[in-house]
Homo-oligomer: A and B are copies of this chain.
Amino acid sequence: MNAQFKKGVLEMCVLSLLSKKDMYGYELTEQIGKEMAVTTGTLYIILKRLTDEGYFTTYLKESSDGPARKYYTLTEKGHHKQEELKKNWHQFVVSVNRLMEEVL
């Protein structure tokens, strides 16, 4: 998989998953990992950045089978960002496909 394709998209995926329900970091890594290669390091950096930028709030919750988990909750700002990124993404895919399929 081309690592460059992921630039910006991982952030969108995180926001998109969190728009459905609160999740913790490790869980996000596993969900996204089903579709593409991603390391925990990458995910935690994204989570830290987006938290700093006000897209999430967080809370700790104990786990029955392991250490406590930090859950992420989308803020209003986060929801808006998610919708904006999703819209941009779909437009982008259409543009790229048009460029590639086009017979000039």
A residues in contact (CB < 8 Å) with B: 1-9, 11-13, 16-17, 20-21, 31-32, 34-36, 85-86, 88-89, 92-93, 95-96, 98-100, 103-104
Contact = CB atoms under 8 A, between A and B. Distances in A.
A95 B36 contact: yes
Given A4-B7, A5-B89, 19 more contacts: A2-B8, A2-B89, A4-B11, A5-B9, A6-B7, A7-B7, A7-B8, A12-B100, A13-B100, A16-B99, A20-B104, A21-B104, A31-B99, A31-B104, A32-B99, A34-B99, A35-B95, A36-B92, A36-B95
Contacts of A13: 96, 99-100
- Within the oligomer, what is the number of copies of this chain? 2
Contacts of A35: 95-96, 98-99
A99 B9 CA distance: 11
